[in-house]
Structure 1
Amino acid sequence: MSQQTNAPRQKAGLRTNIAGLRPIAALLATVALSRSAVVLYPFYGVYLASERQGLTVDVIGLIVGMFGLGALIAGVASGALAARVREQRLAVMGLAGVAGIVVVISFTTQLWMLAGLTALWGFCYELVNPIAYTLVARVMPQAQRRFAFSAVRLAINLGMGIGPVIAGVLFNVSPGLLPWGTAIGYVVSAFILARARIAVGPASDGEQGEGAGSGDGGVQGRPGLRFWSFLAATTPIHLAYALPSTVASVYVIHTLGQSAGWASAIFAVNAFMVLTCEMALNHAMLELSRRISLLIGYACATVGFVLMGFGAHQTWLLLVATAVWTVGEMIVYPVMPDHISAITPDRLKVRNMGFYTAHFNLGVVLAPLIFLPLVQALGPVASWSLVGGVLLVGLVTTAVISNSPRIWGPEKVQAPPAPAPAPALATQ
């Protein structure tokens, strides 16, 4: 006679979840390598100034700005393109396109050609992002998606940390090497992704977009309403998190009159926490609903950005603030694509991920234009408090709409895959 022990279900360990990323290992390698090869863009302005000496500073700024315009268009157009070209192939074309375009840029001297090529470069560069998010949403089981999205962010941040270092070395040797460094890295990335076997079905969980009006446990709703209301509720996140990368150095050095070392310390604290803590944090929060996770992240962002203003009185508070809003960043940015993948029908996944990345890029464009005049007029404390107020509005809005399954979609909190149970003990 045998007796089975009814041991409680164990939560999968961090190593188990990392091992579960094998289906997207090639995609993660592609993302990390391609971002490491972004060596021309960080030095693009100074590259144009040194290699195209007839260009004025204003013209260089216009050319560099065309990159962001191309990236915005890519986010909006990615869904339509993916309807005609298989997604993995489209991403490979984007990677190969970057490689070819930067090589052509290295030989181009005409202003209109440089502007057009830079916009096309931004288009091909950004085209890869919504495809990568979509592939993760389709390949990974629902319970592991948030962890997988955090792995994608880790690959992005790792590459973006390596790329500027390589760029600095190449620039010191010869500015002319920068386009070739980018081209070589992107060719290799395209080759890796082209050879990868990423098994993508119509929907990884046998769903056609959880909560998108079918298969949602009886909760009906319009997928368009859910997506656009979610995008509107998270607009403050994109605006606020565009500020560190675009205005932090200006704020610290120009507005506060502090040394450049404090600005570097902000970036260092943020990068260190993201690279070392994000995956572990998301692993620990896997059993929390998307709603609760997003509200926690929103709260951390609100407190962190308000504290940035008080750095005007105690400079060390800038680092405390950075740590707090970085915790928010590590929570909200994996949760947002996870939620979008859950509420989006399969046929609209690339389109919605494209609008999501375009939404982020729009924040990068608008945030410095709004904030820099604001801080000059109101001062540090009032300006950053206003940022916190906007985030608080977003938090309250998210809390309200997430109470409605029709607008938010159902929350299906699934525990991550657990280790296999031990064999039953037999007694005689």
Structure 2
Amino acid sequence: MKMLINNYLNTYRGIAKEIWFLSFVTFINRAGAMVIPFLSLYLTDQKDFTLPQVGWIMTFYGFGSLFGNFIGGKLTDIIGYYKTIVLSLFIGGIGFIAIQFLDSFSSLCIGMFFLMLAVDTYRPAVFVAADAYSINNNVTRNIGLIRLAINLGFSIGPVIGGILIARASYESIFWVDGITCMIASLLLVLLLKPKKSEKKEVSIVHVKEGISPYANPAFLLFFVVMVINAIAFVQYFSTVPIYYKQIHGLSEDTIGSILFLNGIMIVFLEMPLIAWVERLGMTKITATILGIVFLAISFIILNFSDLFGTLIIGMVLMTIGEMIGSPFSNALALDMAPKGRKGSYMGLYSMSFSISHIIGHNAGMNAIHSFGFEMTWYGMFILLGFAAIIIMYLPKLINKII
């Protein structure tokens, strides 16, 4: 038992204190992130929008995320990751508080766009920070620790959110989310100082060096695969909660508990899993493919049985896929980025998730509306299988560029 604990703790050794500070701030931020997993339920139950209308609101959510990631990548290369993260957290906090006061379909579309524009400038910046504070090329573990903080907070957030909704109101989660975002920005200023060499990294001369991500065929193929993967993944935070409620009759607090399983698995298992995969000598591309395969299986298994346990198995499989695929795909994107272009590359990488919000939620809602849940889950399985096949061509493209 002692050896097991020591092996687990060893996965955290050698990580810079700045990454620990950034992870702590990220945890505070994500612990308040209880709006997103309940957003589709809030829009259908409290605002009485139809599923297609919710799909369109989530599409504007995705457009805001898309432009936020693009701007975040540019800002990171110009003003640095530190200022970009602080601005994103503070302005995003204000946005979460304000969004609850919007009632009409058009105002929510516009409000969601600007909210996510502010919130998702954070993504490229935090990935670049993970690389900037890397020691002995441990960027994958840096990303793993930041993801652990995200998921620890995100596992607690839905549980708290479900309790707040059941005991108080939906409006309370907007206040908590907004306030925690602003607290996170303040803690970042107090706990973390930018790396001294950052100014040199983001100089205009360096930004012009290297191939643009938009002219890199290998990275563009990788980007397409990440879009497909993310389109399926975001279903777990929009259509799948509706599936839990409408087909299985689960309450919001039970749904929050299932999402808690995702987060708590990542907290305890992701870092050891990353270390184990690295010891196996598995390439980042292979690990990314494996993550896609597990996600695909998590959807198909939902059609096998109506038992509650099937939902748990599906969540476990999705989480395994996320734990393997996400940190290694992040690290792969950083590996493919030339010096001085990391902000732009991570901006485009993060935009894959934004595009998934634009396409995924809307497509998922309308697919369920037209074909039902069962056919939608089969569709996700086939889509992910296609992604796993085409990414196998990535090494050939990389070798051509080199």
- Confirm or deny a common fold (TM above 0.5): yes
Q: 1:30 to 1:48 in 2, by over 3 A?
A: same
Corresponding residue to 2:249 among 250, 254, 259: 259
Counterpart of 1:131 in structure 2 is 125
Deviation of the 1:281 alpha carbon: 0.8
Tell me which of 329, 334, 349 is aligned to 1:341.
334
Match of 1:79 among 69, 73, 94: 73
The alpha-carbon distance between structure 1 residues 49 and 14, as it changes in their structure 2 partners (threshold 3 A), is closer
- Shift of residue 16 of structure 1? 3.4
**Are the aligned partners of 2:66 and 2:351 in contact in 1 as well (CA < 8 Å)?**
yes
Deviation at 1:43, TM superposition (A): 6.5
Q: Is the Cα contact below 8 Å between 2:93 and 2:182 reproduced in 1?
A: yes
Q: Using the TM superposition, give the Cα deviation of residue 166 of structure 1 relative to its aligned residue in structure 2, in angstroms.
A: 4.2
Cα offset for 1:105? 5.8
Work out whether 1:93 is the aligned partner of 2:91.
no
Q: 1:330 to 1:343 in 2, by over 3 A?
A: same
Shift of 1:356: 1.9
The residue aligned with 1:326 is 319
8 Å contact 2:58–2:362 — kept in the other structure?
Answer: no
Q: Distance in 1 between matches of 2:170 and 2:311?
A: 34
Aligned CA distance change for structure 1 residues 365 and 260 (closer, same or farther; 3 Å): farther
Query: Residue in 2 aligned with 1:282?
Result: 274
CA contact (8 A) 1:253 1:259 kept: yes
Matched with 2:233 is 241
Which of 349, 355, 359 in structure 2 is aligned with 1:366?
359
Give the superposition deviation at 1:92.
Answer: 0.8
Report if aligned partners of 2:73, 2:343 keep a CA contact under 8 Å in 1. yes
SS of 2:12 mapped into structure 1: helix
CA deviation map 1:74-112 (0-9, x unaligned):
012222223432320121111221234455667889998
Q: CA deviation at 1:285?
A: 1.1
CA contact (8 A) 1:105 1:114 kept: yes
1:406 aligns with 399
Provide the rounded CA distance (Å) in 1 between the counterparts of 2:129 and 2:244.
39
Q: Distance in 2 between matches of 1:342 and 1:71?
A: 24
- For residues 97-131 of structure 1, the C-alpha deviation after alignment (integer angstroms, 9 at most, x for no partner) is 12344556678899987765543322221111221
- Partners of 1:67 and 1:118 within 8 A in 2: yes
Structure 2 CA distance for partners of 1:120 and 1:200, relative to 1, 3 Å: farther
Structure 1 gaps, min length 5: 1-11, 214-220, 410-428
Counterpart check, 1:297 vs 2:287: no
Matched residue type, 2:117: F
Please give the TM-score of this superposition, normalised by the length of structure 1: 0.74
RMSD: 3.9
Preserved CA contact (<8 Å) 1:99 1:184: yes
Q: CA separation in 2, counterparts of 1:383 and 1:329?
A: 20
Listed one character per residue, the Cα deviations across residues 249-305 of structure 1 (whole Å, up to 9, x for unaligned) are 333443xx3331786675344333223211211121123221221222233223332
Q: 1:146 aligns with which of 140, 143, 148?
A: 140
1:6 aligned residue: none
| 8 Å Cα contact 1:235/1:394 also seen in 2 | no
What's the TM-score, normalizing by structure 2? 0.78
Which residue is equivalent to 1:162?
156
Question: Amino acid of the residue matched to residue 241 of structure 1?
Answer: F
Count of aligned pairs between the two proteins? 380
Q: Which residue of structure 2 lines up, in the alignment, with residue 391 of structure 1?
A: 384
Matches of residues 197-212 of structure 1 in structure 2 within 5 Å?
197-199=193-195, 201=197
SS at match of 1:346: coil
Query: Deviations along 1:341-384, whole A, 9 cap, x unmatched?
Result: 00101322122222222211321332243334445665655543
The CA deviation string for residues 290-340 of structure 1, in whole angstroms up to 9 with x for no partner, is: 12212222332233322222235x664343333223211111111111001
**What percent of counterpart residues are identical?**
18
Partners in 2 of 1:155 and 1:131 — Cα distance? 16
| SS of match in other structure, 1:240 | helix
CA distance in 1, matches of 2:323, 2:121: 23
Structure 1 position 185 matched with structure 2 position 180: yes
Q: Choose 1 or 2 for highest CA Rg.
A: 1
Kept in 2, the 8 Å contact 1:89–1:194? The answer is no
Contact 1:146 1:286 in 2 (8 A): no
- Specify whether residues 406 and 97 from structure 1 end up closer, same or farther in structure 2 by C-alpha distance, changes over 3 A only: same
Q: 1:4 is matched with which residue? A: none
Aligned to 1:273: 265
Confirm whether residue 24 of structure 1 aligns to residue 14 of structure 2: no
Letter of the aligned partner of 2:343 in structure 1?
V
SS in 2 for 1:242: helix
Match of 2:3 in 1: none
Q: C-alpha separation between the residues in 2 aligned to 1:369 and 1:47?
A: 16
Counterpart Cα distance in 2 of 1:14 and 1:353 = 29
Contact 2:156-2:260 within 8 A present in 1 as well: no
